[in-house]
Amino acid sequence: MRRYTLRRLLQAVPVFLGTTLLIYLMVFALPGDPINALAGDKPVPESVVAALRARYHLDDPLLVQYGKYMIGLLHGDLGENYDGQRVADMLAGRWGVTLRLAVTAWAFELVFGIALGVWAGLRRGRLADTLVLGGTTLLIAVPVFVLGYGAQLLFGVRWPVFPSAGTDEGWPVGYLLPAMVLGSLGLSYVARLTRTGLAENLRADYVRTARAKGLSRARVVGRHTLRNSLIPVVTYLGVDLGALMGGAIVTEGIFNLPGIGQQVFQSIQLKEGPVVVGAVTLLVLIFLVVNLAVDLLYGLLDPRIRYE
């Protein structure tokens, strides 16, 4: 298992290099000039444009630009955006917001998704099951911005149970409503995966054997069936945690949460190469680590799975 972990971590190095280059090329290929966009429609003198181009190496050939960026990166310098803000500071400021939102949404998915799934799975074909299946279908079908604006108007303005937007109230209060909106899709998948896995496995031979041995129902369901049924759920939750960390452009926008998703979106529009590359590279790394953790977790859930 140690060798496996090491191998996976080493694999991350070429992935890291590949993504940075690829993203750099993609941002470079975007139409438009980042310097001309800076001052809007007020005139900018040639001397200012030239100074900015020189400051951010924009006149160098693409590969030289990329090389300079990578050298900076190896020294722990993520560079600056075209407003002169350090990318490291920008990401650090936004990272906390995204992390809080993602973890809250994820915890919401995990707790309520599995709980609903178990509830429905144990009552297959009965009212509870129908309710969960119908409700989750609805949540999957409704686009997130409808859900977001709807929840905001109902629970932020009409009946102000939650703050309508912003992070003034801090964690957790300021993050609950957006996390529920953001997590509703994942919750639906988790509930459905748990419900189906549980309902299927409850009919398996080993469950009948366990029952015949006279084990308590809680032990049969909790230890024998649920643990086995959770493998697809864990896979989904792992991938989803990675995705949630990537920021949620729509949810962050509706609830005015200055997270990483918003930053990447704005920076792509402004062609701020260093910001986009920095943020996305970080996301790729997180995604790799989370995936590794998920793979290692399989072994805990199902002892038959071994990594060499």
Residues that bind other proteins (CB under 8 A): 31-34, 36-52, 55, 83-85, 90, 93-94, 111-112, 115, 118-119, 122, 149, 152-153, 156-157, 160-169, 172-174, 176-177, 217-218, 221-222, 252-256, 258, 262, 266, 269-271
Minimum Å gap between C-beta 265 and other proteins is 9
Which residue lies nearer to other proteins by CB, 244 or 270? 270
The Cα 76–Cα 57 span in angstroms is 18
Q: What tokens does 65 get?
A: 């630009």
Which residue lies nearer to other proteins by CB, 1 or 146? 146
Which residue lies nearer to other proteins by CB, 8 or 86? 86
Which residue lies nearer to other proteins by CB, 9 or 83? 83
Minimum Å gap between C-beta 93 and other proteins is 6
> What type of residue is 231?
I
Q: Where are the beta strands (DSSP E) in 112-242?
A: none
The Cα 38–Cα 194 span in angstroms is 50
The gap from C-alpha 304 to its chain's centroid, in whole angstroms, comes to 30
Integer angstrom CA distances of residue 96 from 19, 36, 91, 167: 23, 32, 9, 11
Which residue lies nearer to other proteins by CB, 228 or 266? 266
Residues pairing with 86 in the sheet:
80
Q: What tokens does 198 get?
A: 């549980």
Minimum Å gap between C-beta 122 and other proteins is 7
Which residue lies nearer to other proteins by CB, 7 or 83? 83
Half-sphere exposure of 15 (CA within 13 A, CB side): 16
Minimum Å gap between C-beta 196 and other proteins is 17
The Cα 82–Cα 274 span in angstroms is 9
Minimum Å gap between C-beta 288 and other proteins is 28
Minimum Å gap between C-beta 307 and other proteins is 31
The Cα 24–Cα 278 span in angstroms is 10
